[in-house]
Structures are given as structure tokens and as C-alpha cells.
Structure 1
Amino acid sequence: MNVRASPVESQELLNSLPDGVVVTDAEGSITFVSDQALEIFGFPREELLGHSVEILVPDAFRETHRKYRETYLWNAKARPTDAMELQARRKDGSLFPVEMSLAAYRTPDGLRIITAIRDISRRKQMEEALHRSEERYRRLIEEVKDYAIFMLDPEGRVMTWNEGARQMRGHRVEEILGRHVSVFFTPEDIKVGRPEEELREAAEKGRFETEGWRVRKDGSRFWSHVVLTALRDQNHQLLGFTKIARDITERKRASEAVLLEISNRLISHLNLEDLLNAIAASLRQIKEYDYAGLALYDPAIQKLRVYALPLASHKNLIHEELLLSMENSPAGWAIKARRPLVLNRVHEDGRPFEIPANLIKQGVLSACRIPLIHRDRVLGTLNLASLQEGAFSDEEVSLLGQIANQIALALRNAISFRQLSELKEKLADEKQYLEAEIRSRSNFGEIVGQSAALKQVLEQVETVAPTDSTVLILGETGTGKELIARAIHGLSRRREEAFITVNCSALPAGLLESELFGHEKGAFTGSTSRKIGRLELAHRGTLFLDEVGDIPLDLQPKLLRALQERQFERLGSSQTINVDVRLLAATNRDLEMMVDGGRFRSDLYYRLNVFPIMLPPLRERAGDISLLARYFLEKYSRRMGKKIDSISSEVLHGLSRYSWPGNIRELEHYIERAVILTTGPLLQVPPLESKFKKKSKPASANTLADAEREHILRILRETNGIVGGPRGAAARLGLKRTTLASKMQRLGISRNSV
């Protein structure tokens, strides 16, 4: 069956083609133009149909084109079979290159010529640009004399060779082409596989940059800076390498001389201020900068402390010491990256840090931050800036990096020296502080209170302290007997000597004797070395026997002899040791009753009871409780790093009404516990232990829990039972709503109670 397309179908087919189509008859008149052809030439269809095809040909070529068309029609053998590149003309008269393919065919109306036309303007432009680029590159490679520029195949064999390579290496083109790149390496590098390693690094990373010794044809060596770049096709297959090298021997020698001079200058300074001046002088040997400084990391505040370096010919843009964040500063970025940060245009956006506003204000256009690294520890950065764009070249940054290593070493030495000096000063200060701490006992630094009972005790202390008389301090547990003992020592003529404490209730009899009098090696099982006793340590100072009522009865005669005769023997020794000791003793027991019961020697009691001081219990110092509470609040708030400003009057009232069977020690521990539990600025107190309630007064508000309950109820009544909200009871009390609800549940408070 013979299938033929209709004229309409044929036109639609030609309009769908990507190239333009023009059909002419034997006389050259246009019989058909596709939509794509109209778009290429810019004509409307009615201006082309029926007109000569020469309307699409430049004026200069129309006659030639007409003759060629006639030849094409009547000489079939002369008709070209390949596409042709010609110039065409648009409606606006502009000329452009086209690629044309022609074909002739017969119709009932006669011979027809169909021409497929493609606009190749863009392709021609790209070809011309590529040609110009290749020409420029060829001339660049040929004319560059200071750089060796050549190509290697994937195995590392030389494929091209420029004049700069010949001058630097000494090899002529015909001598070097096809030889392996290892010919340029030293025997030492070849032995360890350095040539293959560099090729492998470049192939893996795309680019490899290094410096090192290389060898010329005559065997002489030179220091070369090398950049090796891998070349790959569109399928990522390795085509070879481009290698660019430069002889920097003279620069290296000059920089080594500068570095040696700088190193000798810096290493001699241990004072930080002198070192900063030396660093500034060293930098001036390289270049004059508009700003130079060091940003040193301070671990105490986790920030960078910036020090400006003094400049000679320019005014430094920063004079005062600054603090920078590690998170959003250029110096912080360089420290974390552990590599130089070069900003040759500081105003560019999109960086993960902020340029300091004061540098921007001063007109800084380029900056550089180089990490100071010593033994893998980053100390900070060397900071440089310029009022010119692009002020930091790669060579300069490389040299500055080497200088930064010398600066880091000198800084580490200076910091270590400063730390040693500060430690020495600190030890001296601590010695003075401890001496002052001991002396401060004389004016009762830790004895808090204004009650008449306490003032009477302090008057007794001031009276007896200047003497060498034995003092027996009596009082309940937790009343501050050791503080009074220390105050006596601090006011005595022995205050510059030792204050030795022995807790007689904390040791068994055997150990207590050894603790007091000491022992010789082998005196008893386990005594592997000599031990100096507390009595001997207290020579010319003060010995404080705490809980003296707990001394075993069989040890009391030996202690009495030592106190009366001021001499004793260590356990296991017959040698008598003389001592000059002032004795202070303390107990919470009734020694007279113990003497009557035969549990304490009367002669020792009378030896101790020369000047008795009775300390009042806290319940007899009710007026001092609020002072003590505030003192302990400030002490533990500071120790725990909390900001607790006040204690409510209701709490103070409750504290004053409690009997405090544990005295000051119980109050101190209670306030410490309250500070731990408090989350806001107002102290939140826990309930007192129930085991002490039987010692409290029978009144309904005797305990702090009762006082707290009454206080919460009063606030709830004032807020009409509202707990939450800005005007609720929780806000009034300085508590969270959930915390107040928990307290109400614990204290048995409900809304019906209000």
C-alpha cells in the first residue's frame, strides 16, 4: 500500500524540526518557510513567500549565490553532500553565520530545493573564544621565564616543557620529554617514594602544594615551590597533571636569616610587655601594618584577650585591651581551624564570623589572623590588618606563619615565667594571709553577735589571753568553743607560733597517747617510723585539747605530769623532752560530776580549771540568731555561687523562737541546707528536725514549720486564696507556683484553710 502525507501534514512535520527549513522552486522563489526559519531570519512569512531566496543572502554575495543556485539546479554531480557554513542576512540587515544542508526533489509542479538552516552564531563565538584562550595560554607558557610550567601524563612522565623549565632545570625539550618526574628529586626523596606520593596526593585531592629541595641537570640543588594539579575529563578519568614550579632559594635563605634574627630577639624576653615590643619590632622587619596585635585565649573566662602591638610609623588602630568571643570572631575561627585566615576584602558577606566594628570604623579593608601554636596547643592568634585591599600575599602569609611559630614559643616561655612568678607571689601572699587569718582571731573575726552574754565572754577572753594561764572553755555542743580558743591564742604573745588542736573524743586511748606524746620506731606493732607528738609540735605555741572530758582515765596522769613539769617522753623512748606550751581545753561535760563519779582525776581537773569560761547556749542569745543566720547565708551563698539576698522577717522570727539544741552548729548546718534548696533571691527554709520538737516551747508557732504555715496562710488570705499569676501568693512569696503548692500540701494547707 502506498502511503503519502498530505501537504498539511508535511508542513507540520517541517515546523516541528529544530532547524529552520526553506523550500524554493527552480527560479529561486520561496515556496515554503518553517516557523523556526522565520524566527532565525526575523521576517514575517508574507515578506518571504514568492520572493527570491537571495533576500536572505548578504548583498555582497547575492550575485554569487544566484550563479551557484543555477549550477546546483542543472548539474547534479556538483551538488555538495555535506553541510556548508555561510553568512546569512536577517531582516534588520545584520549578518550571522549559518550551517546549511541542501537537497533537491521533484514535484508535479517541478523541481524543488529544500534547505535546512542552523544558526551557529553561539558556536562560532565559543570557538573563537577558545581559540583566543588557547593562543593566550600558549604565549603565556612560552614567554614565562621565572616559572617552570609543564605537563605530566598519568604515570608522571613529562609531556610538555616551557622555556622557564629549561632555564630552571637545565634540560632541553628533546632531553626531558618522556622521562619520569622523579628525575627532578633528590636521592633521599626518591628513596622514600616522595615523587609517587606527590602524584598520589594530587590525584586524590585535585591539588597538591609543597616546598622542598629539587635537583638540576648538573646535580646542583635549589629550593622550589611546587603546585601540582590533576587534570580530569568529564567522566572524571585522570588525563595527567600540570606542574608549576618556582626557584625560591634566595627567598628561603633571606627568610631563614630573618627568622633566626627574630627568634634570637624574641626568646630573650620573659616579661610580656617587653615581648610585645619585641614582636612589634620583628613584624616591622617584614612590613609596616596599620594594625597589629595578639589575641590570647584566657581559659578562665573562655574568651580571647586582645593586646595591641606598638607600631612605629603608623598609629595602631586599637590601643586598649579588648575581649573577643571565640564563637563569632575571625581569631576564634582561625584557632578552631588551626590555619591562617586571610581576608583580603573584609566587607564580603556570608562569613561565619563578624569583623570587629572598631576595625571597620577605622577603614580596614584587609586582615589576617594566624594561629599561635606551640606543641600542638593553640595559645591565640597573631592579628594583622591593613587599610588597603589585598594586602596579604601567599608568600607573606607563609613567612608570617613561621614567625608566628617563634612568637608562640616565646609566649609559652613568657607565660610559664609569669605563672611561676605569680605562684611565688601567691605563696607569699598566702603566707601573709594565713598569718593575718590567725591574727584576725584576736579581734573575733568569726565570732558573730552583740548579745550581753557574748560580750561578757569576749571580755573574759581579752582579760586572760595576754597571760600564759590555762583556760577551760565550757559549753554545750556547737557553742563555738574552738573559736574562743583561737581568739585567745590570737590575742596572746604566742600568736606568731603554732596553734595545735587535738580532738580527744575522736581517737581511741592507744592512738590518743601516741597522738599527744609521739612514738619511736618500733614502739608498738605498726609503728614503722618515728612520730612527733602534738605536744612537741606545740612547743612555744598553744595546745588546744578539745573534748578533754573524753581523755581515758589511765592516760590522765601522764598528761598531768607533762603539763606540770613541762616535760615528757615519747612512747618507746626514755629520753625526756622539754616543752613550753600554753594549754587551752574545752568540754561539754560536767567535769565536777565526773570527778565525783571517779571518771576524771581531780588533780587534772584543778590543773585545767585555772580560768574557766562558760559559753552561753544559743537559746540564751536570741538576739544574735538573726545576725548569725545572715552571716551563714552570706558565707554559703558565696561558696555555692548563688545570689540569695534576704531572709523574710517571718523566717527570722521563727528562727529566734526555736530552742536550737545543737546551738550555733545546728543553725549553721540548717542555713547551709536552706541555701542548697533555695532557687530564688529569698531564702527558702526547710522544716526543722522533729526529734528536737520535744525541746521546743509548747506554743503553736514554736517550730519554723508552724511559722512558715502561718506566713503562707496570711499571704493566701491577702490574695483571696489565689496561688498563681502575677498577683498570686506564689509571686508574693518569691516562689514558683508548683513549689508553693508542694509546700501547702506538706504543711496541710488547703483552700478551705484560708
Structure 2
Amino acid sequence: MVQRGREPSEVIDNIPGLIVILTADGTLEFINRRVAEYFGRTLEQLREWTITDSIHPDDLAHTAATLRRAVETGQPYQLDHRFRHSDGAYRWFHDDALPIRDADNRIVRWCVLFTDIHERKTAEEKLRQDERELREITNAIPDGIHVFSPDRTLFYVNKTALDYSGLTLEDAQREDYVARLVHPDDLQRVLEDQREVLTRAIPFDHEIRLRGKDGNYRWFLVRYNPLLDDAGKPIRWYATATDIEERKRAEERTRNENLALREEITRSSMFEEIVGSSQPLRKVLDQVARVAPTDSTVLISGETGTGKELIARAIHRRSNRSARAFIGLNCGAIPPSLIASELFGYEKGAFTGAMQRRIGRFEAADGGTIFLDEVGELSMETQIALLRVLQEREFERMGGSELLKIDVRVLTATNRDLQGAVSAGTFRQDLFYRLNVFPIEMPPLRERTDDVRLLAEYMIDRYAKQVGKRFNNIMSITLELFQKYPWPGNVRELQNVIERAVVLCDEPTFSVDETWLKRPTANFDSAISRLASSTDNERELIEATLAESRGRVSGPSGASAKLGIPRQTLESKILRFGINKHRFRP
């Protein structure tokens, strides 16, 4: 059995909204239950109200004008305004008003539906307030900010950017805005970068010149960051332009100063491949210039990879011996049993395998310069022989009896603390004084941050030419990474990173994979704590590792690599414990 429909008034009472019906002259004829509940009034009571009793004062003029226009035209109307609740608070409503006509098309009634939109209006107002606050914040930021879509439709430009360009937002939204703003030499690169990246969710940046309202261009670092939807696709891009004009000028000054310095170096044929203009490097070069014309023995100390051999070669080129031989030897790379024969040579039959006479490095360097790298690695026996050469300027070949006189300048280098080695009894004090006539301390690269960019540019250019590549510039993030990284391997590590990156980089802008420079730092003490709980055990662990590495400290198979600690740290512990690492060598 089908239930008959409910009364119309019952249906209207359950509609989610306030419904009123008025006669053509504006007399209130009907209200649904929700109207009575909202206003807390009956139909008779509401008939006595005027418009000012229910409408928010700020909405009165707009509401009255809309109602007059509807009466005059007889057209439906829609209206947003606030009604006062029975508790005195106002809420937003949306009005939909329709005229009801008789058979002669005359308006006899108006039916109005009031829909509560207070939450929506409140949210919209909150959003507008947030936007106003954000606009105030972005306008106060000294950087220029642009907001645009992936198809480059511009939505917003902050006051800083508009003030710089002298344009309005309407000007900025014209199609030729980018062409008007960007320097002609940078325009093609900007358009290509944007075309390639804006449809992908990948932040990027570039350094470009932007035109100011005075017609002059300044350098800016423009960083692009995407706003993504739930699917990870970019729906907005935020571009922040930071003025880097002063930095660019400083870099140009540095390049010019370095160019002048390198020209001076080239003229004197003194400092090939020594790049930089930092104060620590200038101090070293000043020392080189002073000592080079003399015959003084020089001890060059510094960490691995700082360029000690380059300094030694520079001293030789500036010296009176520059036309004669420069003979180098890495003392740490030669087994102790062979080092004497390398330095002084040997006669035929001096030992098994000596099939013919061979001159040593000192004899080959006669009249010129000998450079002994890693001199701190020499055994005590070889130290005695070297001391005699320095004192007497004479020696004998191994297996020979002839006394050979030599005229040679001695340059040495070490990454060890030789004074500490003297205190520990592993290096002769009298030999140290002979070598340390004129000490030069090479600064590590972390103390030459002003030189990092110059070194990078020089090395990139050199290696790019070797592989037939050309890079327009260096990514700013890469430069920041280079300047912040401590470079434990110094210039040599920088050189290796750049050579590798040049081979792998296929873009016109040079960059490196930042993970290459995020190495976990080994903690020797934590390693020791896992294997030992006392000083005696720590000493035993070091000695066991030295035995395993055959007395070698450095290198991929050396004790420092096996323990996962820096070489200098291990050397200091060897000295502290008085360990003779040479007894572990075959």
C-alpha cells in the first residue's frame, strides 16, 4: 500500500534552508520552521520587523538596492548577506529569490530560499586574510618573488620585484615580460631552462641579469621551487630572485687580481698550476720568491694534497739552478730496503740482481735540485746517510768505494709533525735542523676558501679541453658545496672530483653529484672502543694493524685505511705510544 505524500508545509519545513514567501507588496505570508527557529520569532512577530532588524548594518545598502531592482524589473535575484541570529550573532546566507506569477504573468508572490554559507564565507575570509598577510610578508622580503603556472602564466609579483623593474602587475602579465626583463645574452638560456624544467617537479636555479627601472642590469640568482598537487605534479612555481651583483663584482675583481697574479707568475716561469689569490697562499708565494734565488735547504710541510711538490718545482724554476735537473723522489713509496740504492745508486754486483751500475737520485741531480717528498718516512739508517750528504756534500754508491762530490740543492716535504717525531725518537734531531733551514707551511684548502672558485674554474677549463667539452658556467649549488666542503684531500681531492665530473657532465652548466662530497667521517676512538677497553689494547690494535699492513700507514692498504682514521691521527697515536712502525716492514 503506497503512502500518500506529506503536506507541502511539512516538506518545506524539512528543506535544509530558510524559506519565506512574500506577497507582491512585500508582506510576509509564509515562513518554514527553520526561519522561526533561526530568528526566534513567529510569523506574526516577523511581520512587524523592518529590514534593519535582521540585516547586518554593513550589508543594508547593498541588500536594499538589490531588492529595489528586483521589484522594478521582476527578475530573480541572488544575494549574499548576513542575518542576525536570535542570539545576536550574524551569519552569512545566500539568497535565491524567484517571482511567482499568475495567469496574466503578474507577480503575485516572491519565494526566497536562504542557504547558510557562513562556514564557506568564514573560510574565504580566512583565506583572504592569509593572502593579505602573505602579501605583506612577501612585499617586505628584499628578494623579488614571482608566482606562475607551469605554462608560465603569471599570477603574482611582489612589491620588491615590481619596484626594481618599475612595472605594474599588468605589465608583468604581458607576453613580452621575460624578454623585457632578462638581459638579451641570458634570454635564450632562461627560456630553454624554463621549457625543459617547468613541467617537471624539479627545483632549479640560474644566475642571470635583470633590467632595472633605470635601464641598467644587475645579476640575480633566481631559484625556482614547485608547489605540487597530490599526484606530485607542479601546479604553481615560486621564483625567488636574489640580488648577487656585489658578489659578481667581487668575483670579477678576484678573477682580475688572480689574472694579474698569474700573468706575473707566467712572466717569471715560477708558479705553473699554482692558482689562487688568498692571503695564506700569497704568504707562501712570498716565501718562495724570497728563498728561491738562494741555495738554502727548504722544508715544505702540509697535509696531503696541498701542492707541496708544486711549490718545490716553483722554487727550482726561480732559482739559479733552473736550467739544470729537478729530480724528485717520494720516500714513502720506496721500501726501506731499497731507498738507499734509489738515493745514492749502486755498483754492479752490489747485491743480488745488481747486474750493472746505476746512478742514484743525488748523482742525477748534481748541479740542480733534488726534492725528497715524505722525508719523514725515512728509516733511521737512511736518515744517517742523508745527514752525511747534507753535511759533507759527498757520498758513495752502494757497493762502491769512490767518494762522489755533488753540488745539489735539497728541498724536502712532509705531511708529518717532524718535531713530534724528533720528540718520539723516530726522527733524528740533527737531521731535522739540517732540513728545517727555511720552513714553508702549505695551508690546507679549507683555509683557502677564497681560492676554491678560481681553482675550480681553472681545473674545469683544463679538463674540459682535454675531453673536448665546454662549460658555460658552474651551477651555483655546486660552488656553494665546493666552498663549504672541508676538502680533507685538499687540492688533489678537488682536482679528482672535477676531473670525474667533467667526464660525466653532459650539460652546458658544470655540476657535481653532491653525494660525492658526503663521506662518513670515521671515528677512531669509536673503532677502538669496539675492539679495546684500555690504552694497552689500543696500542696492541695499532701494532697489529701495522703488522698486517707491513708497516705502511698511508695508501689504500695502509694502517690508517684499515682502521678508518685520518693518517695524521694515526701518526700522532704512533708517536704517543712510541711505536716503531719500521720494524713491521719486510
* TM class, shorter-length: 0.3 to 0.5
Structure of higher CA gyration radius: 1
Q: State the TM-score, normalizing by the size of structure 1.
A: 0.34
Q: State the TM-score, normalizing by the size of structure 2.
A: 0.43
